[in-house]
Structure 1
Amino acid sequence: MTAVTPDQPSVAPVGDPATPGAPSTGAAPGPRTVTRDGTAPAASGDVAAFTGSRPDPRYVDHRERVSFVRAPFAARTWREYGYLWLAILLAPFAFTYGVFSVTFLVAMLVPVLGLVLAGWVVVGGRGWGSMYRSIARSTLGVDVAAPAPYVRRKGFWSTLWHGIGDGTGWRAVLFLLVTFPLAIVGFVASTVFLAVGLGGTTHWIWSRWLPLQQASDGSWHRGASFGADWFVDTPVRQLALVLAGLVVLWLWAQVTRGFAHLFRVLTVALLGPTLSSLRVADLEESRGRTVEDADAKLRRIERDLHDGTQARLVAVAMQLGEAKEQLASGGDPVDALELVDLAHSSTKEALVELRELARGIHPPALDNGLAVALETLAARSPLPVTVDVDPAVEASGRLAPAVESIAYFCVAELVTNAVKHARATGVYVLVERQGSGRGARLRLRVRDDGQGGARVVQPGEDGHRSGLAGLAERVRSVDGTLDLTSPVGGPTVVTVLLPVRV
């Protein structure tokens, strides 16, 4: 365990359940120490916080919640029933295209030139997928992300194999084949339940126009018959049929929603991007941003060296040269001494600038481990910062240098944000190791008691990108994750998961 606060009036660490998010009213004597024995409030409260499932990146769910009582009358239920109508109307054509895609490919195996056309037929399944995603967006309330677009390769064989092996097209063809029986069963079942429910609830209105029927005892009846001698032609039986019809209507809503959910799952699974493709695209984007950030950082260092340190060193050389000339020509030694003194001061300032540049590239404190570096960072902060490092983090060996550097700069950026923007009175930093072996991960959790409202501003929003967006890109470059929770009024909680080994 490591806990550090600056030498000034301290506050209770943010996240301590005893005083959650509230600063103390008076100065506390000395630094606040946080233990890791499992009984300390800060540790137990922190480990239990920030749980929940991450949303599926393949789709966005826009469905409104509908209670069981309102289900038959909700617009969502009728939109989903409309989807079943569209599905049954499109199913014969979609199924025909799917069967044609498979049979045409088999038929073209002998004439190789025909395989190019078969490949284009497979790629054409993407158009069906786009149409079904659009229908799902408007009727099923789910916005499925589009897969990566098809890119035509150069060369005959590349075009041939890339078309035949188009995974997105084949998954769309599979969707067309699988949903054919589902569309028939779903439409028939839902329509039967709806017809029976509406018929039962309105039987008392239209039964008067039914033809007379004779029972086995010779009596005549007008109404629905169940069996040979049981007719719904009395007020009690009419009421019972109405109640039964209402029950069936509620069942119809559930049946419709069930079949719609099956279509929704198939749409996401077969017509959306795969998790592996999203991962590849995310890593490619992250790699590109990381290269851009690295290039920008190098340009900034070059600019700082050229405009700052280099200019100072040039001035030092000129001052020393002028002092040398004065001494060589027998000039006033006092003036020469002033020039040397001025050059000495400029040299020290240049050294300070070089030290700051080097610290921005790689903090020297990291040479002694992440815990020591965070201690130094906390001691320099103008805010009280409590750092709680799990001994298991470094007990199992040093982290990868890239992971240590990213973890350090994440904490540094978040503490800086708390000082500049959050109006916080204290920051709590938790560092712990999760798991073991190749799947082990480093978990950082930084919490401040500021005003909240922080968000990740990507390029294109407000004309700039926030520091949090840069942190997210830096974390993603090593396949890590960054989660932000910052409601208006606070507190702001940022959780970063990093692999122990890159």
Structure 2
Amino acid sequence: MTTMTADRPAAGSVTGRAARPGPNFLTAPLAGRTWREQGYLALVLLLAPFAFTYTIFAVSFTASIAVTVVGLFVAGAVVLGARGWGAAYRSLARELLDLDVAAPTSYVRPRGFWRTIGSMLGDSTGWRALLFMFIAFPLSILSFVVSITFLATGLGGLTYWFWYRFLPLQLGSDGELHRGAQFGSSYFLDTPPRLALAALVGLGFVLCWPWITRMFTMLFGALTRGLLSPTRASLRVAELERSRTGTVDDADARLRSIERDLHDGTQARLVAVAMQLGEAREHLADGGDVEQAAELVDTAHSSTKEALVELRELARGIHPPALDSGLTVALETLAARSALPVNVDVDPAVEADGRLAPALESIAYFSVAELVTNAAKHARATGVYVLVEPLGDTSGSVRIRVRDDGRGGATVVSPDGSGLRSGLAGLAERVRSVDGTFDLSSPVGGPTVVTVILPTTSPADRA
């Protein structure tokens, strides 16, 4: 079966790369990850003054020039420009910290001059990037100074035994000359035990340096995830826009299919009926053969009945009449007409007190119908099991599970890597358009299990 479709993975703000093994305490100072993190702190420090200046300029410029219309437009462009800074920081995190933060949804310019200005000035992604740059300025200074201090102190202590002899002589309180670092008035690091102590302290600083560095990069990672990733609201809007586009395309395809069926089938039959009745009328008007006219009327009568059957089939594809008696009756009718044995199990609670809205009942019915059809056409299945039940939580959602015993191997897109979506993509889009979920499990060899979860009310009713 190659035409099954599953829901796309939920768009998250952070996607993980293949996890690299973390260094242990003793090898961390030599690990490439540690030096990449130190490089990240250095690059962030280089960017920080420019980013902070841009932030201060954006805020002050927006406040000072907002009195003019042109100023509003320019100020909005400055706010949108912060998106570029956010992209730069995300790129640094991705390359040096292995933190892959998804980019926010692209800015879409609305129609109308004033709406455009309002959307530019109120762009939340831009303002969140500005807040990131404002916080990153002091944090980058603190993190780099502390990190590099630990590194420099550690390396200095480890090599002190070598370079201390080049220090100038100093007179101690004991009246003797000493060469070495001085602590207090008479404590000099110039004896073998004290040299060893300096090396030991330096080793401690070097071993602590990677973890101090990692602590600061984790802070930057949290800031990056919190301020430079897409918000849930923006992801939801983008998902709704995609599902709406898919739903519109699916509806357009259905309308074209209905138009084609009417034009090539029912309309052609009705034209033939009209011609047959016209020919019969001419025979009777001219006193022709009555039997021949009767044959023409019989043929027209048969064609009319066939046209009625086709119209009923088309109407059933738009809204099955069995749905008027409830989802249970509709699914049982569907099972009776299926080419495969279909076992339908509907929990009575699903239809209690009008549990599903009519539009959602229709989606549920057509979801099952299409899945059963695909099982019969492509899965080489010998039977299908359909279960409809409440989800069992406080959301009041309904779960629809369709399982066939076919050969499996269903995928969302073509396995050849072409990226082409399979035949049920429209069904998945339709489910998502009402805040539902569409999940596919189809290992090679089967079974294929499709789970659809629908809310009990449509988004319009909930609004």
Same fold by TM (over 0.5)?
yes
- 2:347 aligned with 1:393: no
Deviations 1:368-391 (A, max 9, x none): 111222222233333343333222
Measure, in 2, the Cα distance between the counterparts of 1:371 and 1:408: 9
Match of 1:477 among 433, 456, 460: 433
Secondary structure in 2 matching 1:386: strand
Deviations 1:154-190 (A, max 9, x none): 54x5565444333222111111101122222333344
- What amino acid is aligned across from residue 421 of structure 1 in structure 2? H
1:275-294 equivalent positions in 2, closer than 5 A: 275-294=232-251
- 2:102 aligned with 1:147: no
Measure, in 2, the Cα distance between the counterparts of 1:265 and 1:337: 85
Shift of 1:297: 1.7
Residue 355 of structure 1 is matched in structure 2 by 312
Match of 2:399 among 420, 423, 443: 443
Measure, in 1, the Cα distance between the counterparts of 2:335 and 2:205: 66
Match of 2:56 among 67, 75, 99: 99
Match of 1:413 among 363, 370, 378: 370
Deviations 1:65-86 (A, max 9, x none): 4245376555444433322221
Preserved contact between residue 425 and residue 450 of structure 1 (Cα < 8 Å): yes
Residue 295 of structure 1 is matched in structure 2 by 252
Residue 57 of structure 1 is matched in structure 2 by 12
Return 5+ residue gaps in structure 1 as ranges. 1-53
Secondary structure in 2 matching 1:447: strand
Residue 383 of structure 1 is matched in structure 2 by 340
Measure, in 2, the Cα distance between the counterparts of 1:424 and 1:239: 76
Preserved contact between residue 62 and residue 72 of structure 2 (Cα < 8 Å): yes
Preserved contact between residue 422 and residue 450 of structure 1 (Cα < 8 Å): yes
Secondary structure in 1 matching 2:363: helix
Secondary structure in 2 matching 1:422: coil
Count of paired positions = 440
Residue 30 of structure 1 is matched in structure 2 by none
- 2:166 aligned with 1:166: no
Measure, in 1, the Cα distance between the counterparts of 2:311 and 2:304: 10
Secondary structure in 1 matching 2:334: helix
Query: Which one is further off, 306-315 or 383-392?
Result: 383-392
Shift of 1:338: 4.1
Return 5+ residue gaps in structure 2 as ranges. 1-8, 459-463
Residue 422 of structure 2 is matched in structure 1 by 466
- 2:66 aligned with 1:66: no
Preserved contact between residue 66 and residue 75 of structure 2 (Cα < 8 Å): no
Preserved contact between residue 399 and residue 500 of structure 1 (Cα < 8 Å): yes
Preserved contact between residue 413 and residue 419 of structure 2 (Cα < 8 Å): no
- What amino acid is aligned across from residue 210 of structure 1 in structure 2? Y
Shift of 1:117: 4.2
- What amino acid is aligned across from residue 318 of structure 2 in structure 1? I
Preserved contact between residue 109 and residue 116 of structure 2 (Cα < 8 Å): no
Preserved contact between residue 422 and residue 452 of structure 1 (Cα < 8 Å): yes
Measure, in 1, the Cα distance between the counterparts of 2:73 and 2:17: 40
Preserved contact between residue 208 and residue 223 of structure 1 (Cα < 8 Å): no
Distance 1:449 1:403, change over 3 A: same
Residue 486 of structure 1 is matched in structure 2 by 442
- 2:133 aligned with 1:210: no
Distance 1:85 1:388, change over 3 A: farther
Shift of 1:357: 0.6
Greater relative contact order: 1 or 2 (C-alpha under 8 angstroms, separation 6 or more)?
A: 2
Preserved contact between residue 66 and residue 74 of structure 1 (Cα < 8 Å): no
1:85-234 equivalent positions in 2, closer than 5 A: 85-108=42-65, 114-141=71-98, 142-149=100-107, 151=109, 155=113, 161-195=118-152, 203=158, 207-211=161-165, 228=187, 233=192
Distance 1:262 1:313, change over 3 A: same
Q: TM-score, normalised by structure 1?
A: 0.74
- 2:380 aligned with 1:423: yes
Measure, in 1, the Cα distance between the counterparts of 2:343 and 2:182: 79
Shift of 1:412: 1.6
Distance 1:433 1:379, change over 3 A: same
Shift of 1:393: 0.9
Distance 1:102 1:478, change over 3 A: same
Shift of 1:128: 1.4
Shift of 1:397: 2.0
Shift of 1:283: 1.9
Measure, in 1, the Cα distance between the counterparts of 2:180 and 2:401: 71
Distance 1:436 1:397, change over 3 A: farther
Measure, in 2, the Cα distance between the counterparts of 1:501 and 1:420: 32
- What amino acid is aligned across from residue 350 of structure 2 in structure 1? V
Distance 1:470 1:66, change over 3 A: same
